[in-house]
Every structure is written in structure tokens, then in C-alpha cells.
Amino acid sequence: MAARFVGLHFAAMITTAVLTTSIEAAETGFYRAEKQDGRWWLISPEGKQTILKGVCHVQFDGDRIKGTDRSPYREAVQAKYGSVNAWRETAAKRLLEWGFNTVGAWSDDRLIQFEVDGKRLACAPILDLGAQFVAKEIRGGQAWLQGIFPDVFDPDFESFCRNRTLERCNPRKEEKAILGWFTDNELRWGPDWRGKEELLTLFLNRPANSAGRQAALQFLARRYPDIQQFTKVWKMQISSWDELERATNIAQPFVRQPFYAQNELEERAANEVNPARAAFVADCEAFAGEVAERYFKATRTALRQADPNHLNLGCRFAYLPPRPVLAAAARHLDAISFNCYLVDPTPVVRKYAEFDRPLVIGEFTFRAQDSGLPNTRGAGPKVPDQKARAAAFKQYVQLILHEPTVVGYNWFQHNDQPKEGRFDGENSNYGVVDENDRPYPELTETMKSVNALAEVWHAESARLVFRDDFAGKLGDGWQWLREDKSAWRVTSSGLEIRIQPGNLWGGANDARNVLVRPIPQPDDKEVLISVTVQNHPTGQYEQANLAWYYDDAHMVKLGQELVDGKLCIVMGREEKDRTRPIAIIPINAFAVELQLRARGKTLYGRFRPVGTDKWQSVGECDLPVPANNQPMASIHCYQGPRDTERWVQFSDFRVESVGNLASAN
């Protein structure tokens, strides 16, 4: 008999009221970040909710050709306008007409003086606190190009930040047009494109008398009271800390992929297999956290003393850094900034969003292959043409603004790079204008329409109704059907359920450990449920599912299943125990993120392998609504072997809602 749920009241769950853009706060004279009705916003000096919509590197000089003083863009605009100020006026008016409200990092701040229909641009300058300290500390040292991290343990770092902010920020602390300050750009927090070394290894190999090296040595001594424990993990032939202090060219015992190329599940598996590697990684991430605490505390203190009025927008992370680094950033910043050059930035945004701080995209872009530029050097996805470039911009902005934590975005950059390559060889179609200052009409027209809708989209952003990381226990609100307590457990990796014989597809309805919880009705909103599943099925129809569930006889399942010897994503609909397959798609991934999206009476399924950013559509169907009409989310697995104990892992379960269906499409 099908299990029924009568009398479960969703009113006890978190309620979701539709937010409008009419909410205003008191005038403060300066931009600030504020959480209202579950969403983060920037609040303008006039007290209005706003989104930062910026463009980076808006400069008359453009980019010089590598190894020369020539700038094709500067030559073009000099001939076209005759003066810098005439160019400024045109550039500012165009940006405002295209719906931008901010000039981002490396821009000419004097663009803020021009007005169009009562509007002016704000600015968000970059201070390069760490980068300038590196240049001062090491002759010819370059933080961004060479990946040299500032020695934040050096007492001179604090005084340097204090002096630089007094020089740069204090004279401008009363300017309303300053949105906030970026402290740095793309500092190196460990293995990345600049080298395989961890931050801890880099500090251990600093000069012997440097404060940073001494801090790294003291850090290890605190973590390993017994030197033998240290040598076992770090594979060093030493017998005392004095020997380590005298050592040079300390090699790290393990090498990890760059942070942006790491796969979370592969990392976890490698650490489980090798406890020494796990200890080494823990050392590196804990030390990175200490470095981050020093950096963010020193820069915040200096900035607040020099300018208490404007936002501290952080250091524009180039990639997702170790969790202790993000925790330090969340403690000290007004908003966390990061650059993200993915087609779909949602997975990265959600990792940053775990700390519930406002987020600003410092850079993103798309490069068109029909631009006539090589596009052989530089970050960012390539698209076929300018039409596709405009479409990619729209999709990206829609995706980020439907996240409740994102309060701003900056396109990189204002004008194209030289085809010969700039100082580091980049030669890409990044511009909203080409090197002759001609706008790309498909892109700029789309930017204009998208920027006009930014606040509306964010007001209707997906609201996180419930999330469960299964961190040590099940979250509140879950209920087991046919529970077998010996066959489920919560570990540091997530919820694990032993896959047992039994079925939930059709009339049998004897599957064990079916986990369910109430979710919102999708009548006037879009409702999303998602979960990450890791499973290695070995038998026919062995499966692990996410389901939109009413009872055992009414549901839509989306899961990973073995069908005729092939690993597949399967979507199916069941009503009154009558089943109908929607789609069967072969895949090559044992770990996948599954998502069901209900819009009105229609349910859509999609998935993506863990470690990728592109969703793949599975199918759609009508909701099989029974009389009780109470939707539930379910995660479950069944059709397992009788004689072999195998477990399925579920992690990162979410329920989200979007308040207005008309604009969610």
C-alpha cells in the first residue's frame, strides 16, 4: 500500500514573501551592504537597493603592445577625440547609456564627474596593498605575475598598509561616488598557474631571517610537538627543529593540482587513502588561514582608520581558496570579491555563499572568435561570434543575480587588447569597444537591457529555503520511511545509505530508508530541489535518486542508475503506481549533481557531473499530483545486491524558490 502524508503543514517551514525593488532605507551618504528579506543588496547613498554593474580598465591609454610604448587604443582615441577629457565624457556617457553604474578596477576615476539624465558613475578603485608591499619588499617583485605573496608577518606590512591607505583613501573619504575599495587582485593562495607550491612551502623557503619564514616554522612546531610526527608526514630526514630551521629549499612531500583544477571528491579520496597526505593538506590549509587572517585584519584596520565610510571589497580571489582563507575573508570584509571566468558560475558562487556574505564578481568575460583577434592568450570562454557573446553575457548575469548573495559584477574589460599581445601576451577580444573605440552593438545592446533588469532579477532571486550538508547529523524536518537504522549513517563526507534490495518504482513500494521532507508548493513560484550523489552501481537497475515525491504511488524521480550494463541518468514519472520513463541518458560520471525544478504544474530535470559547470537537460513532465497535494523532496536508493554491502553518498541537499514565475523564464 502506498504511504500517505496527511496533515503535514508547510506553514511551519520558512516562509517566503515576494520582495519588490521598492524597499528603501535611510540615506547614509555612502554605499553599504545590507541583507533584506533573505537577500544581500548594495544600498546606494540615497538609500535605494542597487546592484554594482561595472566595467574594468576603462582607460584612455588602453593596453600597450608587449615590449613597446605603443597602444593601438590610445592612438585611435587620441586621433578621434583630441584630448583625454573629451574621451572621458564620451566613455562615461556611453557606459551610463548601456546601464553600467560603476567603473571597476584599473579605471580612470575622473569618469565619475560626467552626468547623464541625473546619473553619474561610481568607482571602485584598486589599492594593490599586498602587490605594492611585494614591490617594495623584493626588488622587481610582482605579486600577480610572479605569484609572490606579501610577507604579512613582517611588522612593516601593517605600517605600509596604513601609510598607503592614508595617502590613497583618506583624502577621498567623503566622496559619495566611491562605492568601495579593492585591496588587491588575484593574490596567490597556493598551487595555481604560477606554480605548484603551497603557500606554506613558499613561506618556508623565504629568506632565513624573514618574519614569514619564522612564522611558518613556529606554525609547524605548534602542530607537531613530536618532530618524528612531522618527519613522517613531510618525509624529511631530520631529528630536530633546529635542523629544519637550517634547511634550505624545503620540498613539499605532495603536489596538488591547482585549486581551480581540483576535484573535491578526488581530493577526499586521495586523503583517505594516504593519511600523511591528509595531514600535509591540513597543514597547508591551516597555515593559509593564518596568512589570510593577518592579511585581511591588517588591510581592514588600515582602511577603516583612513576611510571609515566606504566598503572594503577585498582582494578579488582568482579561484576558490581553501576554506580557512574564505572564513578569514568573511570575518573582515564588507563584501567578498572574486573573479570567475566560467560559463556557469553557479557552483563557485554557492561555495562562496556558504559564509553568507555579499559577493561581488570582480571580473568575467567572453571572447568571440569572429573578432579578428587571436584569442590565444587570456582567461575566459570562447564563443563563435558577437551574437553568442551577447547571449553568454545575459545568461551569466541571470545566473549570478538569481543567487541571493551576489550584489555586483564587473565585465573585463572596456577595450580589446592588442592583437600583438599586451605585457603578458594576452591578445583577446575582451572589449565592449574594439581598439578603434567602436562599440560591439550586439553586446552593448544586450548589456543595456540586462543591466536595466539587474535589480528586478535579484529581487526575484532563488531564495534558499533549506540546506543540509549532513554535517554530523540530519537537518531538522527529515522523516524516514521504512527506516533501517543499521543501513544509514552521517559521515564527514555526507549522508551514506546502504543500497538494499527492494523497489519504489511501480506497485512494490518496499524500498527501505526512503528519506523525505516537505517543500513549498510551486503554485506561484519556481521551486528547485537538488542534491549531489556519488554511487558505483554494479547490478541491473541499481539506482540512487532525487525525487519530487507525494507518496509511494505519485512521484517523479531523477537518478543515477545502471541500465543494461551502462551507467545512466534516468528520469521517470509515476502516478497511481503506473510508471513512465521520461529519459535514459548514458554518462561516464559516478558523482553527479541532480536538480528538479518545478514551474507551475511542470517539472524539469537536469544534471551535471561533479567538477563541471554546465548543466545538461534530462527532460520534463507534468506533476503527478494526488489528492493530498503536499509535495515532498526525497532521496533514496534501491535495487541493491543482497549479499554485498555497498553504500551511496548524498551531499549538499538544497531547496530553493523563485518568487515570480513570469520573470524566472
Q: Where are the domains of the chain?
A: 465-664
Q: Three-class SS of residue 388?
A: helix
Range with the largest mean pLDDT of 4-8, 261-265, 362-366, 457-461? 362-366
Residue 21 predicted with pLDDT over 50? no
- Reported confidence tier of residue 212, pLDDT bands at 50, 70, 90: very high
The pLDDT score that the predictor gives to residue 661 is 39
Residue 16 predicted with pLDDT over 80? no
39: β partners: 36
DSSP 48: B
Residue 67, Cβ density class (10 Å: 0-12 exposed, 13-18 middle, ≥19 buried): exposed
Residue 240 predicted with pLDDT over 90? yes
Indicate if the alpha-carbon torsion angle 450, 456, 457, 458 is positive or negative.
Answer: positive
Residue 458, Cβ density class (10 Å: 0-12 exposed, 13-18 middle, ≥19 buried): buried
Residue 177 predicted with pLDDT over 80? yes
Q: What is the pTM of this model?
A: 0.80
Cα separation, 660 vs 324, in Å, equals: 37
Residue 372 predicted with pLDDT over 60? yes
Residue 7 predicted with pLDDT over 70? no
Phi, psi of 459 (to 5 degrees): -60, -25
Q: What is the mean pLDDT of residues 90-113?
A: 97
- Reported confidence tier of residue 14, pLDDT bands at 50, 70, 90: very low
Other Cβ atoms less than 10 A from the Cβ of 627: the count is 10
Residue 10 predicted with pLDDT over 80? no
DSSP 416: P
The pLDDT score that the predictor gives to residue 582 is 97
Residue 276 predicted with pLDDT over 50? yes
The pLDDT score that the predictor gives to residue 18 is 28
The lowest-confidence range among 269-278, 491-500, 505-514, 655-664 is: 655-664
Residue 20 predicted with pLDDT over 60? no
- Reported confidence tier of residue 4, pLDDT bands at 50, 70, 90: very low
Element at 131 (helix H, strand E): helix 129-137
Cα separation, 174 vs 309, in Å, equals: 7
What is each CA distance from 236 to 286, 357, 653, in whole angstroms?
A: 20, 41, 42
Phi, psi of 37 (to 5 degrees): 55, 40
| Residue-by-residue DSSP string for 297-327 | HHHHHHHHHH-SSSEE----BSS---HHHHH
| Residue-by-residue DSSP string for 166-198 | HHHTGGGTT-TTB-EEB--S----SSBTTBS--
Enumerate residues 6+ apart whose C-beta is below 8 A from 162. Answer: 301, 302, 305, 306
Residue 27 predicted with pLDDT over 60? no
Residue at grid coordinates 519588490: 20
What is each CA distance from 61 to 67, 69, 419, 425, in whole angstroms?
A: 15, 10, 16, 17
Residue 22 predicted with pLDDT over 50? no
Cα separation, 267 vs 393, in Å, equals: 32
The pLDDT score that the predictor gives to residue 263 is 85
Query: Could you write out the three-class secondary structure of 203-257?
Result: HHCCCCCCHHHHHHHHHHHHHCCCHHHHHHHHCCCCCCHHHHHHCCCCCCCCCCC
465-664: CATH architecture? Sandwich (2.60)
Residue at grid coordinates 570562454: 381
Pairing state between β 311-312 and 479-481: unpaired
Q: What is the mean pLDDT of residues 470-474?
A: 85
Cα separation, 499 vs 479, in Å, equals: 18
Residue 8 predicted with pLDDT over 60? no
The pLDDT score that the predictor gives to residue 659 is 63
Phi, psi of 453 (to 5 degrees): -95, 0
Which is more confidently placed, 492 or 582?
582
Structural contact between residues 58 and 103, judged by C-beta atoms closer than 8 angstroms: yes
Residue 304, Cβ density class (10 Å: 0-12 exposed, 13-18 middle, ≥19 buried): middle
